[in-house]
């Protein structure tokens, strides 16, 4: 069996979710970081769509983070991300679906909007780790790609941004309340529910010493967005889950032994 390959965006909730699943299971794989915009040709050739993450395996190319995680759980066992108990598994999948289909697309709108207002920083955050020339070239392309990124993500105006803030508060309230009893969102163990919620909220909370921490110094407009949620009790849950379960301090390109 040839080595798995993950095609990813550096800064993205769905990509972080799948990276985390690969890391926590210590699945050997290669990573290729793509840049939003120029990624389209590459990804479309492989899947027929343009969404990332994409996992390449012997049998083909998989997209859709939930499908990828289901495949990983079936092919690369422990630790299982889907709870063994059927009722808990259904509940964890329900939480995943709620984030994937509703909360996450709304939350990423104010995040991308703040980043697009600082094209240099947008380029840094997505091209982090790429050679300097590629980063500089990409910074020049970002203003041209911005309308496409806005359209593709439903950033249609002030109402869409406000709605994103409502979704962020809803998600943070939910994780704070749901984790109060056991520290976890579903039952008393880490599952795909925690993985999904924390990966989404990491785009706002940016846990330090994690693959979602920001390149420093953080651009001003983006820092203001992060500060808006920093003291929410849900933010403490995100930091705690990252500290206990993320198991990687940075992203990498190349073959991996799993967690850093
Ligand atoms: N439902 C998909 C959503 C994936 C998604 O929206 N990916 C975004 C990055 S956060 C993307 O690749 N957008 C670029 C595009 O659609 O061309 C999943 O769970 O993987």
Q: Which of 46, 49, 51, 102 to mutate to test the pocket of ligand 1 (most atoms within 8 A of CB)?
A: 51
Check: pTM over 0.85? Answer yes or no: yes
How far out from the chain centre does Cα 238 lie? 13
Q: What is the pLDDT of residues 79-88, one digit of tens each?
A: 999 999 999 9
pLDDT at 259: 39
* Residue 1 vs residue 132, higher pLDDT: 132
66 lines ligand 1 (CB under 6 A): yes
Q: 153: CA distance to ligand 1 center in Å?
A: 9
Q: CA–CA separation, 248 vs 11, rounded Å?
A: 15
Q: The tokens of 34 are what?
A: 């793509």
Ligand 1 contacts CB of residue 65 (under 6 A): yes
CA distance 230 to 238: 10
CB 49 within 8 A of CB 152: no
Tell me the two tokens of residue 4: 């798995």
What does the CA dihedral 120, 126, 128, 130 come to, rounded to 10 degrees? Answer: -100
pLDDT tens, 22-74? 999 999 999 999 999 889 999 999 999 999 999 999 989 999 999 999 999 99
Nearest CA to ligand 1 atom 13: 51
- d(Cα 117, Cα 76) in Å, to the nearest integer? 41
- Per-position b or e across 215-251, b if 16+ CB within 10 A of its CB: eeebbeebbebbeebeebebbbbbbebbeebbebeeb
Question: pLDDT tens digits, residue range 89-109?
Answer: 999 999 999 999 999 999 999
Domains in the chain, please, with CATH? Answer: 4-75 (3.40.30.10), 86-246 (1.20.1050.10)
Nearest Cα to 138, choosing from 204, 3, 235, 39? Answer: 39
Q: Give per-residue pLDDT as tens, 215-234.
A: 999 999 999 999 999 999 99
């Amino acid at each position: 069996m040839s080595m798995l390959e993950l095609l990813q965006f550096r800064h993205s909730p769905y990509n972080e979710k799948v990276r985390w699943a690969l890391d926590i299971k210590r699945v050997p794989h290669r990573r290729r970081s793509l840049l939003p915009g120029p990624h389209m040709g590459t990804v479309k050739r492989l899947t027929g769509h343009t969404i990332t993450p994409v996992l390449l395996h012997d049998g083909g190319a998989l997209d859709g983070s939930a499908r990828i995680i289901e495949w990983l759980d079936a092919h690369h066992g422990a630790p299982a991300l889907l709870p063994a108990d059927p009722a808990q598994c259904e509940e964890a999948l329900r939480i995943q679906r709620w984030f994937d289909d509703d909360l996450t697309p709304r939350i990423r709108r104010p995040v991308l909007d703040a980043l697009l207002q600082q094209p240099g920083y947008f380029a840094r955050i997505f091209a982090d780790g790429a050679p300097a020339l590629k980063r500089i070239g990409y910074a020049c392309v970002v203003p041209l790609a911005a309308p496409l990124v806005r359209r593709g993500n439903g950033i249609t105006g002030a109402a869409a941004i406000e709605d994103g803030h409502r979704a962020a508060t809803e998600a943070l309230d939910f994780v704070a309340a749901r984790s109060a009893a056991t520290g976890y969102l579903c039952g008393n163990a880490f599952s795909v529910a925690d993985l999904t919620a924390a990966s989404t909220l990491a785009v706002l909370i940016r846990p330090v010493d994690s693959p979602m921490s920001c390149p420093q110094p953080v651009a001003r407009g983006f820092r203001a967005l992060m500060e808006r949620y920093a003291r929410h009790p849900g933010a403490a849950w995100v930091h705690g889950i990252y500290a206990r379960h993320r198991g990687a301090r940075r992203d990498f390109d190349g073959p991996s032994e799993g967690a850093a």
